[in-house]
Amino acid sequence: MTGYLLRRLVQSLIVVVLVAILTFTLLQMLPGGPTRAILGPKATQQQIDTFKQQNGYDKPVVVQFFHWAGGVLHGDLGYSYKLNQPVTDVIAEHLPKTLVLMALSTAVALVLAVPIGVYQARKRDTLGDYTVTGLSFAFYAMPSFFLGELLILLFAIELHWFSPAGPNGNTLGEIFSQAPSLILPVATLALITVASFSRYVRSSVMENLSQDYVRTALAGGASDGQVMVRHVLRNSLIPIVTLLGLTLPQLFAGALITEQVFNYPGMGFIFVQGAQVHDYPILLGIGLVVAVATVVGSLLADIGYAVLDPRVKY
C-alpha cells in the first residue's frame, strides 16, 4: 500500500509540473507577450520596458518559470494587476463558490443516476430503456451553455419559477441565502453529468446481475429486492468512485461555462473575465489550481477503488 501511494504521488507530481510548464509556456505566447497582455494595447514601449524590469519579464522564460514556481511553493500565485489583489486571495474568495456548485450538481446527478441506471439494467432492451438512453445521450451531447440558456428560457422567462441569474455574494452564507437561485445552475451541470453516471451504473448492474453470486442468493431464497440492494447495487457502485475522480475536469469545464451563463461569481466566472481582459496571473493561477484538483481527484479515486474492491492489486 505504501509503495503504491508513493508511486502515485510521484506520478501526480510529475503531471502537475508538466501542466504548469505547458500552461506557463502557452501564456508566454500571448500576442505581445504577458507584459503587453497585462498593460494593454495602449501601453508605450517605455512603460513596457519598465514593467518588464520591475517584474522580471525581461529575463529568459526558463528563469521566469522558476521564479514563478518558487513563489508557488511559498503560496504566492502572483498578483492580478486587473483586479489589484493577489491571485491567492482571488482564488480563496471564489473557489469555495465553485466547489459548492460542483458538489451540489454531483450529488443531484448521483441521486438521479443510480435509480435510472438500475431501472435501465432491469428493463434492458425495452421501450423504457431505449427512451432513457436516448434522453441520456441528448443531455450528454448538449453543450452546457445551450442547456443553461434553455432552462433560463423555460423556467425563468416563460414560467417565472426561478431567477435567470445565479446567487451573488462575497461569502458562502450570502450564496446559500439565495438558495432558489442555485437551482438552475445546479440543474444545468447535473443533467449533463447524470447522463454519464447512469450509463456506467447500467453497465455495472447488468454485469453484476449475470454473476454466480446473484443466482446463488436467489436460489437461497432471497428476494429480487434483497439481492439488488444487498449485493448487486453495492458492488455496482464501486466503479462510480473512479468515475467521480475522472469527471473533475469535465465538472470544472462545465462550471466555467455555467457560471458565465448564470453570472455566478465562482472561479470559472473569474477565469472567463480574466481571459477577456488578458489577466495573465489569474489565468496561470487558476489553471494550476484546476490541474492540482484534477490530479488529486484522480489519485483519490484510484486509492478509493483499490480500498473498496479487494480484487484490485496494489
Average the pLDDT over 120-146 and give the result: 84
Average the pLDDT over 289-310 and give the result: 75
Please report the pLDDT score of residue 68 as a whole number: 83
The yes-or-no verdict on residue 313 having pLDDT over 70 is no
Asked if 248 and 261 count as a contact pair (C-beta separation under 8 A), the reply is no
Tell which wins on pLDDT, 99 or 30: 99
Per-residue cell: 60:
529568459
Main-chain phi, psi angles of 309, to 5 degrees = -110, 105
Encoded amino acid at 76, one letter: D
Q: What are 45-75's pLDDT values in tens digits?
A: 788 888 878 777 778 888 888 888 888 888 8
Q: Would you kindly state where each structural domain of the chain is located, as residue ranges? A: 2-87, 96-265
| Residue 312's pLDDT band (cuts 50, 70, 90) | low
| Residue 306's pLDDT band (cuts 50, 70, 90) | low
Per-residue cell: 19:
501542466
Please report the pLDDT score of residue 307 as a whole number: 67
Asked if 30 and 280 count as a contact pair (C-beta separation under 8 A), the reply is yes
Please report the pLDDT score of residue 311 as a whole number: 61
Q: CA–CA separation, 159 vs 172, rounded Å?
A: 28
| Yes or no: domain 96-265 corresponds to CATH 3.40.50.620 | no
Asked if 188 and 147 count as a contact pair (C-beta separation under 8 A), the reply is yes
What are the start-end ranges of the H helices in the chain?
2-28, 33-39, 45-55, 61-73, 87-122, 127-141, 144-151, 172-176, 183-209, 212-219, 224-227, 233-236, 238-246, 248-261, 267-276, 280-308
The pLDDT mean for the chain works out to: 81
The yes-or-no verdict on residue 222 having pLDDT over 60 is yes
Main-chain phi, psi angles of 56, to 5 degrees = 80, 10
Which segment of 39-48, 95-104, 166-175, 222-231 scores lowest on mean pLDDT?
222-231
Q: What are 176-200's pLDDT values in tens digits?
A: 888 888 889 999 888 888 887 888 8
The yes-or-no verdict on residue 112 having pLDDT over 70 is yes
| Residue 285's pLDDT band (cuts 50, 70, 90) | confident
| Residue 202's pLDDT band (cuts 50, 70, 90) | confident
Q: CA–CA separation, 300 vs 243, rounded Å?
A: 11
